[in-house]
């Protein structure tokens, strides 16, 4: 494995950062690319850590830690989400930024990869505290942001409202409205229609294309979705609309099961009203682990990284795992699933719908010309179909799994761009 810690010696290596490098190294060493560029591609271009003091509602001052990591911009300005969660740490953000680089390259977007995060529990913050934290954080990382430099977007723990505060903070500091500075904005503030469901729609598109290669359709499969946030809910809803039977869903505290199919709209409404799926009418209670290993055709981990590890993997009964979350399958679990004949559709392909529609929003903001929902959905399907076809062709030609195929295409594109640009100075 590439020793990236010699470039960032104060960083204590985490499991997720190791996993991200494992997938990169495993593929890079088979591609016969110039070894001179290996440390460049494996290392983040910029790592920013900031202190964010804010006044809480009780009058006390609390200091939060925030990060922004910019991994590689050979193909264009940095692009990546912003998450608020207690699990946020520098190594996690570094890994997510690297994954974002490969994801953007794989689906053909003119972006590099970045990620940001603030260590906090957003559920314990009042709206005023969350707004003050957002504005402080953005003002602290302002020097590395901009529509031609680095464009944030929503991620775990953030939403369109947070992006509205990002837009306003950035615009106030530069002295003019700058729609291209952030994506995932509310539609009234010129966010793109279709952005909220975009990641879930991309997951649906990729699964539909894969099933077609097996002479199957969405109506032929039973699906379990682990995670019921924005991505999980819209994934489940869209799959159900197109004929799939969603038999299991879970959120952080547990899940529900119904062998004949869950009404995902009703479950979503219940979850929004109660903050839990416990006692959801007409459903049987399951633990998160039971959702992962239940009898189904397709398992969709849509929560956080490292959900499926070497202990869970041997018990998974699904024939297909679609990574709607970032890095939900550990490398050892990935090997076990492959040995057991389970197809894994990797995150850098499956969940790229969100950043794709973010790209559409960025383009619309720069042009001040805005698309209707049909155009957004049609363009998203075109991008996702093209990306799947490229990965599927690479997998067939190289006789390899989908993750290896996807990483091969993505790394090759970034490596070629980096080599052509060269080093400055």
Straight-line distance from the first to the last Cα atom of the chain, in angstroms, rounded to the nearest whole number: 28
pLDDT at 21 over 60: yes
pLDDT band (50, 70, 90) for residue 20: confident
pLDDT of residue 3: 44
pLDDT band (50, 70, 90) for residue 9: very low
DSSP letter at 319 equals S
pLDDT of residue 209: 97
pLDDT of residue 281: 85
CATH of residue 309: 3.40.50.720
pLDDT of residue 324: 95
Helix (H) or strand (E) holding 72: strand 61-72
pLDDT at 13 over 50: no
The verdict on 212 and 302 lying in the same domain is yes
The verdict on 116 and 252 lying in the same domain is no
pLDDT of residue 188: 96
Among residues 350, 366, 387, which one ends one of the domains? 350
pLDDT at 155 over 50: yes
Q: Three-state SS for 257?
A: strand
pLDDT of residue 14: 66
Number of neighbours of residue 348 by Cβ within 10 angstroms: 27
Q: For residue range 183-228, list pLDDT tens digits in order.
A: 999 999 999 999 989 999 999 999 999 999 999 999 999 999 998 8
The verdict on 51 and 132 lying in the same domain is yes
Report, in angstroms and rounded to the nearest whole number, the Rg of the chain calculated over CA atoms: 21
Give Cβ neighbours of residue 80 (< 8 Å, ≥ 6 apart).
Answer: 96, 97, 100, 113, 114, 115, 116, 152, 153, 355
In a domain, 191, yes or no: no
pLDDT at 351 over 90: yes
The verdict on 209 and 168 lying in the same domain is no
CATH of residue 88: 3.40.50.10860
Can you read off the two tokens belonging to residue 10? 């104060």
Euclidean distance between CA atoms 350 and 301, whole angstroms: 11
Task: With CA atoms as reference, report the closest residue to 113 among 64, 76, 60.
Answer: 76
pLDDT at 269 over 60: yes
In a domain, 373, yes or no: no
The verdict on 95 and 168 lying in the same domain is yes
Q: Are 222 and 243 in contact (CB under 8 A)?
A: no
Among residues 126, 142, 176, which one ends one of the domains? 176
Can you read off the two tokens belonging to residue 345? 């559709």
Helix (H) or strand (E) holding 129: helix 127-141
**Residues spanned by the domain of 211:** 198-350
Catalytic residue set: 115
Euclidean distance between CA atoms 147 and 149, whole angstroms: 6
The verdict on 125 and 213 lying in the same domain is no
Angle 15-31/402-421 helices, nearest 10 degrees? 80
Euclidean distance between CA atoms 390 and 383, whole angstroms: 11
The verdict on 245 and 341 lying in the same domain is yes
What's the domain count of the chain?
Answer: 2
SS3 content of the chain, % helix, strand, coil (to 5): 50, 20, 30
Arithmetic mean of pLDDT, 372-392: 97
50 strand-pairing partners: 66
The verdict on 207 and 171 lying in the same domain is no
Arithmetic mean of pLDDT, 23-31: 88
Q: For residue range 278-328, list pLDDT tens digits in order.
A: 878 888 888 888 989 999 999 999 988 788 999 999 999 999 999 999 989
In a domain, 52, yes or no: yes
Task: With CA atoms as reference, report the closest residue to 308 among 276, 271, 338.
Answer: 338
In a domain, 31, yes or no: no
**For the chain, what is the mean pLDDT?**
92
Q: For residue range 46-97, list pLDDT tens digits in order.
A: 999 999 999 999 999 999 999 999 999 999 999 999 999 999 999 999 999 9
pLDDT of residue 286: 86
Alpha-carbon 279 to chain mean position: 30
Euclidean distance between CA atoms 126 and 128, whole angstroms: 5
pLDDT of residue 4: 40
pLDDT band (50, 70, 90) for residue 2: very low
The verdict on 137 and 257 lying in the same domain is no
pLDDT at 267 over 60: yes
Write out the DSSP string of 13-69: PPHHHHHHHHHHHHHHHHHT--GGGHHHHHS-SEEEEEEEEEE-TTS-EEEEEEEEE
pLDDT at 8 over 70: no
- Residue entry with tokens 């001040």: 368
In a domain, 385, yes or no: no
Among residues 320, 350, 380, which one ends one of the domains? 350
C-alpha angle 386/392/394, rounded to 5°? Answer: 105
For the entire predicted model, the pTM comes to 0.91
Euclidean distance between CA atoms 66 and 238, whole angstroms: 34
Strands (E), 332-378: 343-345
Cis-peptide, bond into residue 107, ω within 30° of zero? no
pLDDT at 394 over 60: yes
Q: Three-state SS for 141?
A: helix
Euclidean distance between CA atoms 313 and 116, whole angstroms: 30
Task: With CA atoms as reference, report the closest residue to 220 among 292, 296, 293, 323.
Answer: 296
pLDDT band (50, 70, 90) for residue 148: very high
The verdict on 68 and 172 lying in the same domain is yes
pLDDT at 241 over 70: yes
Start-end of H helices in 175-241: 198-213, 230-241
Can you read off the two tokens belonging to residue 294? 């239940």
- Work out the burial of residue 148: count CB atoms within 10 Å of its CB; fewer than 13 is exposed, 13-18 middle, 19 or more buried: exposed
The verdict on 204 and 344 lying in the same domain is yes
């Amino acid at each position: 494995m590439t020793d990236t810690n010699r470039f960032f010696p104060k960083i204590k290596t985490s499991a997720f950062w190791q996993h991200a490098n494992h997938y990169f190294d495993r593929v890079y060493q088979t591609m016969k690319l110039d070894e001179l560029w290996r440390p460049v591609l494996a290392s983040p271009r910029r790592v920013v850590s900031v202190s964010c003091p804010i006044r809480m509602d009780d009058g006390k001052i609390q200091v939060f830690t925030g990060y922004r990591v910019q991994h590689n911009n050979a193909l264009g300005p940095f692009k990546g989400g912003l998450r608020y969660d207690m699990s946020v740490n520098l190594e996690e953000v570094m890994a997510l930024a690297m994954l974002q680089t490969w994801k953007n390259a794989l689906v053909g977007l003119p972006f590099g990869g970045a990620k940001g995060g603030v260590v906090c529990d957003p559920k314990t913050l009042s709206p005023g505290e969350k707004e003050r934290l957002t504005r402080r954080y953005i003002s602290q990382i302002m020097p590395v942001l901009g529509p031609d430099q680095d464009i944030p977007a929503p991620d775990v723990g953030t939403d369109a409202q947070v992006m509205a505060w990002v837009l306003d903070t950035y615009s106030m500091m530069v002295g003019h409205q700058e729609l291209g500075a952030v994506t995932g904005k509310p539609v009234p503030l010129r966010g793109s229609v279709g952005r909220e469901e975009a990641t879930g729609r991309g997951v649906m598109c990729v699964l539909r294309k894969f099933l077609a290669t097996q002479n199957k359709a969405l109506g032929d499969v039973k699906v379990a979705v682990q995670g019921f946030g924005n991505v999980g809910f819209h994934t489940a809803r869209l799959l159900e609309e197109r004929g799939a039977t969603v038999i299991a869903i879970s959120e952080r505290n547990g899940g529900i099961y119904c062998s004949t199919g869950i009404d995902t709209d009703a479950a979503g409404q219940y979850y929004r009203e109660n903050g839990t799926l416990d006692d959801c009418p007409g459903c049987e209670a399951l633990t998160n682990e039971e959702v992962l290993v239940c009898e189904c055709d397709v398992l969709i981990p849509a929560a956080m990284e490292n959900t499926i590890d070497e202990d869970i993997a041997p018990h998974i009964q699904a024939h297909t795992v679609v990574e709607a979350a970032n890095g939900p399958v550990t490398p050892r679990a990935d090997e076990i699933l492959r040995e057991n004949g389970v197809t894994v559709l990797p995150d850098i392909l499956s969940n790229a719908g969100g950043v794709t529609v973010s790209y559409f929003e960025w383009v619309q903001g720069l042009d001040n010309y805005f698309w209707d929902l049909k155009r957004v959905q049609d363009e998203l399907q075109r991008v996702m179909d093209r990306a799947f076809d490229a990965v599927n062709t690479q997998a067939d030609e190289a006789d390899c799994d989908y993750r290896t195929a996807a990483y091969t295409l993505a790394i090759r594109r970034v490596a070629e761009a980096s080599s052509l640009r060269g080093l400055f100075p």
